[in-house]
Amino acid sequence: MIEEKSPTSGAVPAIPPQKVTTMRTTKFEETVAGYLFLTPALIIFIVFLVIPLVIAVYISFTDWNGITPLRDDDAFETIGDDNYQQLLTQEGRRQTRFFTAVKNTTYYVIGVVPTQTLIALILAVIVNQKWLKARGTFRTIAYLPSITSSVVISIVFLWLFSRGGLVNAFIELLYPAYGDKAINWTDDSTGVFHWVLKQFGVTRADVGDWASEKHYGLRTWDWISGPSVTMLMIMILNTWTTIGTLMVIFLAALQNIPSYVYEAAAIDGANVWQIFRKVTVPLLKPTTFFVITLGLIGCFQVFDQVYIIGGGDATLTVAVLVYRNAFGTGSNMGLATATAMILFVIIFIFTVVQRRFFGGERANW
């Protein structure tokens, strides 16, 4: 840090200047050198990110089917914001599916982000305790799911949560009566709130006509009936796999908190809970912001687990919808890129909004 500023004061004893250089030329040379060093990364960034992004934005205003070679003259026609209208405003199947995906993804984010952040924080605090024996082992165990292939984990979860699987066997052990109406976790499109209400005998038909009215292609009842049971399983799966990574981030931040802060709090008479609530949590604020941002982006883009576990519309997320529109029977790349653009805007808005809540002063990352 000091060296960078020093050319102005001329205090660089190790490398004596060989010729007289003005401040201006030094600055210039530094700038050139800087950009030269940046060039490889910049080229990769431009070729693999910026150019595709620009092309994707352009394609989202066309009707390209994703098959005809782009160099063909008749590969696509520009159709304005038709794709966006079909997804957002125009009533029809595209709108219904898009909002099904938005609904599922929103429930997913609302469920997963706070849960994984909280659990990761608690885990990090626990494995950061000096009195804890074999801390390294616990840290490794908590981190293992994060470095395991999501495909493998998804398949293992499919077995665990199948109708005759371990999870159901365990619940049956606790409630023997459960066996008769065991939940089929891997393939149950019932919304969880709906499921709970159904246990009390309340269904869509009972609550009145408002529940069957359609908004953005979905019945009000579907909007409020929560994530499907299968989605809940995927939420549990993903929470479990991500907390390891988030825990490591929290752990690094925790170890950056100097011990004198805790000592001061202890001397002031704060108890364990007060120290956690009034010292640890506020000092972790920038990290929490980082973790929540990572979580939001990751959750909005959830794809692989859903792709493997399947479940049709009940687990359809926006990222999966992008894939479905882009490839396979009836592929429509224009629609797919438009979907992806809207997803980008949604993530962008959420990130900005939560920055206002957690960002506070400029977060240091």
Partner 1 sequence: MKRSLALVLVLTLALAFFARVPSSRAQDTVTIQLMGWSSSPAENAALEEMIAAFEEANPNINVDLQLVPEYDTTLQAAFASGDAPNVFYVDSSRLPDFVDAGVIAAGGDMIVDPEGFFPSLVDVFTIDDTFYCPPKDFSTMALQYNKALFDAAGLEYPTNDWTWDDLTAAAEALTSGDTVGLVVPPELPRWLPFLYQAGGSVLSEDGTEVTFDSEEAMTALELYLGMVEDGIAAPPSELDAGWGGEAFGTGRAAMAMEGNWVIGALEENYPDIEYGVVELPAGPAGEATMAFTVCYGVAADNDHPEESWALANFLTGPEGATMVAEAGFGVMPAREDAAAVWLETRGIEFEAFVTGAANAHRWQFPVGFGDFIDTFNNGLKEAMAGNMLPEEVLEDSVAIAEEILAE
Question: Which residues are near partner 1 by CB under 8 A?
Answer: 32, 36, 39, 65-72, 74, 92-94, 97, 162-165, 184, 186-190, 312-314, 324, 327-331, 333
Residue type, 247: M
Q: Which is nearer to partner 1, 187 or 296 (CB)?
A: 187
Kindly state the smallest distance separating residue 1's Cβ from partner 1, in Å. 24
Kindly state the smallest distance separating residue 18's Cβ from partner 1, in Å. 15
Q: Which two tokens stand for residue 141?
A: 């165990």
Q: Beta-carbon neighbour count of residue 241 at 10 Å?
A: 21
Kindly state the smallest distance separating residue 162's Cβ from partner 1, in Å. 5
Q: Which is nearer to partner 1, 147 or 169 (CB)?
A: 169
Q: Beta-carbon neighbour count of residue 333 at 10 Å?
A: 23
What values do phi and psi take at 150, rounded to 5? -65, -25
Q: Which is nearer to partner 1, 90 or 255 (CB)?
A: 90
Q: Which is nearer to partner 1, 31 or 39 (CB)?
A: 39
Say whether 78 sits in a helix, a strand or coil: strand
Kindly state the smallest distance separating residue 120's Cβ from partner 1, in Å. 32
Kindly state the smallest distance separating residue 103's Cβ from partner 1, in Å. 14
Q: Is 10 left (phi over 0), alpha (psi -120 to 50) or beta?
A: left
What values do phi and psi take at 300, rounded to 5? -65, -25
Q: In angstroms, rounded to a whole number, what is the distance separating the alpha carbons of residues 268 and 111?
A: 37
Count CA within 13 A, CB hemisphere, residue 68: 14
Q: In angstroms, rounded to a whole number, what is the distance separating the alpha carbons of residues 319 and 27?
A: 46
Q: In angstroms, rounded to a whole number, what is the distance separating the alpha carbons of residues 63 and 60?
A: 8
Q: Beta-carbon neighbour count of residue 271 at 10 Å?
A: 10
Q: Beta-carbon neighbour count of residue 141 at 10 Å?
A: 12
Q: Which is nearer to partner 1, 27 or 163 (CB)?
A: 163
Q: Which is nearer to partner 1, 163 or 278 (CB)?
A: 163
Kindly state the smallest distance separating residue 203's Cβ from partner 1, in Å. 9
Q: Which is nearer to partner 1, 10 or 69 (CB)?
A: 69
Q: Which is nearer to partner 1, 76 or 108 (CB)?
A: 76
What single string gives the DSSP state of each residue in 28-51? Answer: HHHHHHHHHHHHHHHHHHIIIIIH
Kindly state the smallest distance separating residue 108's Cβ from partner 1, in Å. 18
Say whether 89 sits in a helix, a strand or coil: coil
Kindly state the smallest distance separating residue 189's Cβ from partner 1, in Å. 6
